Amino acid sequence: MAVNPKIVGAAVAGVAVTAILGLVAVRQLASGPSEPSSPAVRQPPPLPPGYFDLGDPPKADPPRIVLDKQLALPPIDLGQGQTEGEGVLRIRNEGPGASELSKVELHGTEGFAMTDLCPSVLEEGGECEIVVTFSGIDAGTSRGSLELQFDGRPKTVRLRADVLAPYTPPPAPPPAPPEPDKTYLSWAEWRAQVLAGRANGGPGFVREGVLEQRNISLPETDPDRYELTDDDYGALREDESTLPVDRTRRITQDKIIWAVLRTPINTQIGGWVLATVDEHVFGGDGRLKLLPKGTQLIGEYKPLEQTGDSRLEVKWTRLLRPDGASISFEGLGGDAMGRNGLIGDLDNRTWEKYGTAFITTLLSAAIVAASSSAQDENISQASDQFSQNLGQVTAQVLEKQIDLAPVVSIAAGERILIKPLYDIAITEPRILAARSAQAGAKKE
251 contacts 290 by C-beta, under 8 angstroms: yes
How far apart (Å, rounded) are the C-alpha atoms in residues 271 and 315? 11
Q: Please choose, from the candidates 222, 231, 229, the residue with its C-alpha nearest in 3D space to the C-alpha of residue 204.
A: 222
Query: Is the domain defined by 251-345+409-424 classed in CATH 2.40.128.260?
Result: yes
In this predicted structure, what is the pLDDT of residue 185?
64
Q: Residue ranges per domain, the chain?
A: 65-164, 184-213, 251-345+409-424, 350-401
Helix (H) or strand (E) segment spanning residue 360: helix 350-373
pTM here? 0.38
Distance of CA 81 to the CA centre of its chain: 21
Cβ atoms within 10 Å of 123's Cβ, excluding its own: 13
pLDDT digits (tens, 9 = 90+) for 199-247: 555 444 444 444 444 454 544 554 455 454 555 545 545 566 667 777 8
- 301 backbone dihedrals φ, ψ, rounded to 5°: -145, 160
Q: List, for the chain, all residue ranges whose pLDDT scores fall below the cut of 50.
A: 1, 3, 34-38, 202-214, 216, 218-219, 222-223, 226, 228, 233, 236, 434, 436-437, 441
Q: Please give the CATH number for the structural domain made up of 65-164.
A: 2.60.40.10
pLDDT digits (tens, 9 = 90+) for 371-428: 665 555 656 666 666 666 666 666 666 666 666 778 899 999 999 999 999 888 888 7
